[in-house]
Amino acid sequence: MRLELAGIRVTNLDRSLRFYIRALGLREVRRGDTRSWGGGVWVRLRDPRSRRLLELNWYPKGSRFYERYSSGTALDHFDFTMGVASRGELERAYRRLLRFGARPTGYEPATTEGWMASVRDPDGIWITIGRRPTAAERRAMSG
């Protein structure tokens, strides 16, 4: 067996699609509607760099899968790595997430010495973005 994807429950499919596509660069690859048999609407997204899949799931009231949404009770966080990047690039990525509807958590580049930041997506799920040190930073750390 192998892990195929991670699916998350969302409260507003259009809002979450805008966030994950515009703010994080994921691409829609497939969509389905299972409401006819008591399900909901799902959209599969792919990260073009890592090829990992994320599925957004929305269930209407009356669906066999519907539950009152409780933010952050099971899923801890998603972790996105920028690769080798500067502190300024991390700061710009963090500000971009906020512009697209993320909410701050208190962990921003300024509080983590420029290494990572965390935000909450539109439904309250934590998203962490981090960076690897630049060549100059690696030399400074080893020297």
Q: For the domain that residue 27 is a member of, what is the CATH number?
A: 3.10.180.10
Residues 84 and 122 grouped into a single domain: yes
- Per-residue pLDDT at 140: 87
Residue 96 located in a structural domain: yes
Region 30-39 average pLDDT: 92
**Which range (5-19, 30-44, 69-83) has the least confidence?**
69-83
Residue 19 located in a structural domain: yes
Region 51-63 average pLDDT: 93
The total domain count for the chain is 2
| 3-class SS letters over 43-85 | EEEECCCCCCEEEEEECCCCCCCCCCCCCCCCCCEEEEEEEEC
Which residue range is the domain that position 13 belongs to?
Answer: 6-58
Residues 84 and 50 grouped into a single domain: no
DSSP 8-state secondary structure symbol assigned to residue 34? -
Spell out the residues 6+ positions from residue 38 whose beta carbon is closer than 8 angstroms to its own.
62, 63, 64, 65
- Per-residue pLDDT at 66: 87
Instruction: Name the residue among 129, 16, 135 with its Cα closest to residue 69.
Output: 16
Residue 68 located in a structural domain: no
- Per-residue pLDDT at 67: 85
Residue 21 located in a structural domain: yes
Rounded Cα gap, residues 15 and 56, in angstroms: 11
Residues 81 and 123 grouped into a single domain: yes
Using 50, 70 and 90 to split pLDDT, how confident is the model at 74?
low
pLDDT at 76 over 80: no
Residue 1 located in a structural domain: no
Residues 81 and 130 grouped into a single domain: yes
Using 50, 70 and 90 to split pLDDT, how confident is the model at 73?
low
* pTM for this model (two decimals): 0.80
Q: The tokens of 140 are what? A: 């400074």
CA angle 71, 55, 108 (to 5 degrees): 50
Residues 93 and 44 grouped into a single domain: no
| pLDDT, greater one: 75 or 90 | 90
For the chain, percent of residues with pLDDT exceeding 90: 62
